[in-house]
Each structure stands twice: as structure tokens, then as C-alpha cells.
A and B are shown apart, each in its own frame.
Chain A
Amino acid sequence: MKAWFLRSFKKGIVTSSFPSGKNESLSPWATTPAGDISGEVNCPVDAIHNDKVDSGKCISCGICFPQFKPSLQIPQITTTRVEKSLSKSMKLYIFDSGTCGACNLEIMALNSPQYDMNRLGLSFTNTPRQADAIMVTGVLTDGMIDPLKAAIDSMASPKIVFAVGACAISGGIMGKSISEIVGLDVQVPGCPPDPFVIMAAIEKARGRI
């Protein structure tokens, strides 16, 4: 036990003050690319139109480089509703509708000491019954349609549906968007989104930023 305490003291405070302070890191290609289309750019998901990148479609592949470069800014997060009643406490339920695994792990990373989601009144739950928000990751797969509908139905109101990552928002390069069967309250872009982007989206959805 003593060893753990000593370790923690030695390590000091590692937790970010984000969102009141600045995010300490941001994975470059998890930010929306910016540039101009003067050269030939073949975006594999057709995310570039008139020099603008649709962040909900972008799969962070970097093929548009060097004409486009990561903007290094937290991407635009589309929110169609804000639930201030959840600003003190919010339970998150992760729902994998068809991922490569990366989005799930980036949401789970919020639990690590650098983010320490509990300081913001956030926690994970393993059942939709206790959840205030469902974080849907991945493309829509046939086998997960009924479980997804059932999970959302079983949540108490108010409830927020997050589409986390390009696959959930637009289908990415792998398939169909979950928007085919559920309304998206919050869209968190990235392939996968950086944990700071996920955190910013959560805070925006409950009116804290």
C-alpha cells in the first residue's frame, strides 16, 4: 500500500484542468484538416468541398496531406440539444454498434488520471437504465439495431444521444451511419476523436462550455 502512496506523491498532479484550462494535448489528425484544394486531392470519403472539410465524414487518413494539414484545433461539435439539468452529474453508457475498437477506448480513456472524468461529475455505467447519455460508437450493423433501440428506449429522460466518431456520424469508410435509426443530439468528429474532443462535446451538451 505504501508503495502506491509514494508513487502517487512522486508523480504529482497529472490531471488536466480542461475545460476551464487548456487541453494539454490533441492528436493532430484527430483535428479537422484545413488547407486549399489547389492541387489534386482524392479524399476517400468525399469529405472535402470548396476547401472545407466535413469533420463528420473525415476519417483522419491524412491522404489530403500536404495540401491539407491538421488544424490542431478542437473540431466543431454539432449539438442539437443542451441539457443543463445534467451539468452537475451525468452517467455515460458506451454502446458499440460496430467499431474497430478505437472510439470505445478513447471514451474509456476519460477515466484515466489525465482526464479524471469524475471531477466533472461524469461516470460510466454498464446499463442504459442508469444512463443519462448514450455514447454510440461505430457504424450501424444489422445485429445491433434492436439492442440500440432497446437501450435508448430503456433510458430515463432527459437523455442525450452522442454519435462518437466518423463511423457513427456518417458511416465513415466502413458502412452506414447510426442516424438511419436514431436522432443524433451530439456529433463528436474524429477517427477516433481525441479524448479531449469527447470531453469538450460532453461539456457542450450539458451547457458547461
Chain B
Amino acid sequence: MITPARIVFEEDGKIFALRRYSEDLEDFSGDLLKKRVVDLKPSEKLSLFPYGPSAGGFTESIYFSILTSGEKIEAMNYDTSLKDRKISLSGKDILKALLITERINGIHSASYSSLFCDLMERSSGIEISQEIMDLRTLMMEMERISHHLFVAGRLSGGASQNIASMNIYLLREELLRITGQTFGHRYFFGINKPGGIGRDIDLSNIYEKLESIVTEYEEIYRTLMDSRIFIDRTDSTAIIRDEMAAGPVLRGFGKNMDGRLQHRYYNNLNVRISTGDSGDSLARYVVRSEEIFSSWEIVKKILDRNTRFNMVEEAKIDKIQGTGEKISGYMETPSGDLSMILSVRSGKINFFKYSSPSLWNLRVFADAMKGNNFADFYFGLESLGLCVSETGDIR
């Protein structure tokens, strides 16, 4: 199956593309990816409603222009560039580049740093052990559970299910505390290094705690699915059926696609994929909840085979000098597929591009909101699990 191009760029008069879930750059005959342009013209019946960038209760700064009759959304545009940090990795040494990459999207730093390290290792022929792959996978799955809990908390809070929302936040905080105590950092900063890990990790105490979080979430999830109010608020809102979507948004309308299915880190872990039919906010919520359970299944398998990971000193960054050859890959973050291309020369980054899932999900969301009730904007937005920080432009 041909998957959409995620990164397209021109070099030496030729166009290259990296497709979703692909590690291979290919010659491309299509156009460079274009910015979404929507003409929003107010009229006697339609007014332009500005929303953001800071006021309004968003998790991160973002600006929306919504063309509306007051009831319905006619068209919508967005601008994520206001908080664009103008991140540049060119010329940076590998360590600094890794630290910056971890912070492109801090709440998905395990996914970003795992992919960055994977590319570094492949660029220099460094083999990593199964244990290190397992640790990366485990961190990414814990990150997925944490992110999905946050989205579930926001969505249920928005649907006036405040007790449910607080119960979910409680579980998320428990998870973050376990993460902090076990990994030294609540968002996994500073652990991944090319070739290894930066500190010892002992996982012998986390099994029961994680199990109880997931079991408790299951109870909350079943109770929420019995709530008419929650179902009514999320059912049929912000329906998205666009193949350019990523992650739970893509799976929410029945696409059985997930980068973990073919990624070598997940070999022998039997990733269970959940899909929805309706593509609405409810379907995305169900997909996320089911992913919490399947992520726990993966974590359990990894914990069954490892509990201690020692700092790998061979993680020597100076081993990576690079030849300037481009290397590319992908990772399935909690929000969907992340693609990255980079090259290293003389120990410094000399090419770096990435495509984030939030970039695509925001785009398809803006298209899909046409015709929706204005009041459904919030549910649609929260159900995306958007991370504005990762929509920035890498230079």
C-alpha cells in the first residue's frame, strides 16, 4: 500500500520524499508539500471569530480564525507559528542536537529521542542490545499511557464529567510520579543516548503500580462509556476521515495502521491495534483508551524479560562522526507517526527535517470542522491530543 509522503524536499534539482512508516528516502515525482491555504471572507451572515493565541484555555499557544454564522463553523484556519521556537540543529554537535530534539515535544520526548538515537546508531553502524531497544519501547509505551490519560482527562472535563476527569488526572499524576522515581525524570529527559542510556534504570518496583493504574483506568473507562452525557457530547462531533491523519485520529475511522506494526523495536511484542468506525471524538477516545490497555500488555512483556538496565558507557557520542549521508526513519508517538531525516558530518548535524503527527492532525481537523456546530470545536480539538510544540518549523 502506498502511504502518504510526510517529508518532501528538493536537493540538487531533484525531489525526494519520505513516506509514512518508511525508513527509505525515495525519488518523488509529485510537488513539494504545500501550506494549507483557506480563504476566510466574512460576510453579512458570517463573521470571523479569532480564538487564541493564549487566552481561551488552550494547553499551548495557538491561534484559530473561525468563520462562523454563530451556530455552525463554515471554515477554519490556524496559526501555530506564533510560538515557533525557530529550532535549528544544523552545525550543532550530537549531544546538543539530542537535547533539543528531546524538547521539540517534551511530553513525547521518549519517542523523539528514541528515533533520533536510532538514526544516529544506524548512521554509524552502532548495534544496540535488545535490552536497550526494550527500554526505549517501554518508555514510549509509558509515554503513550500518560498522554492518553491526559487527553481522556481533558475530554471528559470538557464534557462536564468532572469527577471522571479528576480521577483520570489522579492516575496520570501517579504514573508521572512512578516515572520520575524510576527514570529520574517525569518526562524521560536525559535517558536515551546514541548507543545506550545515560543512567542506570531499575524497573523492579513498577509492575504492581502500573498494573493498578491501568486497572483503575479500565473501571473509569467502563463507567464513562455508560454516561449518556459523555457519549452525547462526543458522539458525531468533529468527524475526520482523511487518510493524511495520524495515530489515533487515523485509527478512529477504521484504518488499521500504526507504525509499531512494522517497527523492529516491536518485533515479537504482538502490538494489538484498536480501531473505531465513526471517526468522531468518541471513536478517538475509545481508540486511545484501548491503546492504554494494549500499551500495558507491551510493558508487561518487556518487564517479564528485563528489570535492570545499566548505563551503557559505550554510548560514546564521539564514535558518531558521520559521512554526510542522509538517514531516515519513523516512530509511532502517542499522537501518531513521526518521521525524521538527518545526516551527520564530522560529528555535527548537517541536515535535519522532521514531520510530526500534530502537523497533520491539525490540518485534517481544520478541514473537518466545516459544518460542525461551533460548540463542538472544543471536543474536536481535545480529542486530537494535539501538541503545538511539535508543529514548529525546523530550519
Contact = CB atoms under 8 A, between A and B. Distances in A.
Contact of B199 (A65, A112, A173): A65
Contacts of A14: 170
B251 interface: no
A114 interface: yes
A192 B184 contact: no
B219 interface: yes
Interface stretch (B49-57, B293-301, B340-348): B49-57
Contact of B53 (A112, A126, A144): A144
B99 interface: yes
Interface in B176-204: 176-177, 180-181, 184-187, 189-191, 198-199
Contacts of A139: 85
Contact of A109 (B58, B103, B176): B176
B156 to A, nearest CB: 11
Contacts, number: 175
Interface residues of A, number: 60
A29 to B, nearest CB: 5
Given A65-B198, A174-B100, A194-B180, A96 B83 contact: yes
A78 interface: no
B388 to A, nearest CB: 7
B96 A111 contact: no
Contact of A101 (B170, B172, B190, B388): B388
A104 interface: yes
A194 B166 contact: no
A70 B104 CA distance: 24
A140 to B, nearest CB: 9
A167 to B, nearest CB: 8
Contacts of A207: none
B54 A109 contact: no
Contact of A104 (B59, B103, B176, B223): B59
B27 interface: no
A127 B56 CA distance: 7
A143 interface: yes
B190 A25 contact: no
Contact of B85 (A7, A62, A70, A175): A175
A183 interface: no
A4 interface: yes
A173 B103 contact: yes
B152 to A, nearest CB: 13
B180 A30 contact: yes
B32 interface: no
A159 B190 CA distance: 35
B168 to A, nearest CB: 9
A28 B85 contact: no
A101 B185 contact: no
Interface string A56-77: 0001111101000010000000
A103 to B, nearest CB: 8
A28 B185 contact: yes
A108 interface: yes
A29 B183 CA distance: 9
A44 B83 contact: no
B285 interface: no
B382 to A, nearest CB: 13
B56 A126 contact: yes
Contacts of A182: none
A80 B54 CA distance: 26
A15 to B, nearest CB: 10
Contact of B107 (A65, A101, A174): A101
Contacts of B106: 99-103, 192
Counting chain B CB atoms within 10 Å of each CB, which of A14, A109, A143 scores highest? A143
Contact of B54 (A96, A114, A194): A96
Interface string A1-24: 001100110010010000000001
The 8 closest A-B pairs by CB, nearest first: A100-B106, A143-B82, A27-B180, A102-B106, A62-B190, A112-B169, A126-B57, A100-B103
Given A95-B61, A141-B85, 6 more contacts: A27-B177, A44-B96, A97-B83, A101-B59, A113-B169, A144-B53
8 contacts: A26-B180, A29-B184, A60-B185, A65-B199, A99-B83, A100-B106, A111-B169, A194-B186
Interface of B: 53-61, 81-87, 95-96, 99-100, 103-107, 109, 150, 163-164, 166-167, 169-170, 172-174, 176-177, 180-181, 184-187, 189-191, 198-199, 219-220, 223, 387-389
Interface of A: 3-4, 7-8, 11, 14, 24-30, 44, 59-63, 65, 70, 95-106, 108-109, 111-115, 126-128, 138-139, 141-144, 147-148, 151, 172-175, 191-192, 194-195
